[in-house]
Amino acid sequence: MSNKNVDELEQYYDGESDEWVDASSVGYPESIGNFLIKFSSFENSIDKWVADGISDRSHHQGYHVLQLLKTSNKIDLLERMTLLMLTHFKPDMRVEFKEIISNMRSLNSFRNKIVHANWISLRNNGDVQTRVSIDKDEGFVQFEKTNITPKIIDQSIDKMENLMESLDGFFERLHE
């Protein structure tokens, strides 16, 4: 068994445990709702910068491309388009941009965990099942857990707001 934070499936999964709590009773709905609303704004910023990169005359072409992509693909596209520009015009900004992209991917990963979590598996300590996987060595079904609390979600909202400001400031400096 790996060192991940996992529970292994014994024989049957019944979805019950004394350690589990009702997420709606301990402050999660407001934090999750706020996070998802802010994430929508964050994704809109990504869309805007990708659309600008595809055509500075109109966003139509950009949105034709973007409507086919998941957020992770949008981040990849933004990275590829921007790195090419940085390589030719402002190579000194590459390190800063790589950090922004890394933070964007981390935030998107956290968003996916929130959206796809099995919230009925929430435990008192904030651990919630976020993925089902198979142990490659022994073949056991494993429920991967992530610690997600309202406080962690709220801190991620703050990080997201700072990241959006960093992204906007970066592109303003890039186009100076």
pLDDT tens-digit readout, 78-122: 999 999 889 999 999 999 999 999 999 999 999 999 999 998 888
Q: Which of 133, 126, 130 minimizes the C-alpha distance to 110?
A: 130
Query: What pLDDT is attached to residue 11?
Result: 46
Query: For residue 156, is it within any domain?
Result: yes
Query: What pLDDT is attached to residue 15?
Result: 54
Query: For residue 1, is it within any domain?
Result: no
Query: For residue 168, is it within any domain?
Result: yes
Q: List the beta strands (DSSP E) in 52-163.
A: 127-134, 141-147
Residue type, 35: F
What total number of domains does the chain contain?
1
List the structure tokens of 125.
């300590």
Query: For residue 100, is it within any domain?
Result: yes
Query: For residue 115, is it within any domain?
Result: yes
Query: For residue 160, is it within any domain?
Result: yes
Give the structural domain span for 142.
6-174
Span 46-59, mean pLDDT?
86
119 near 28, Cβ under 8 Å? yes
pTM as predicted: 0.84
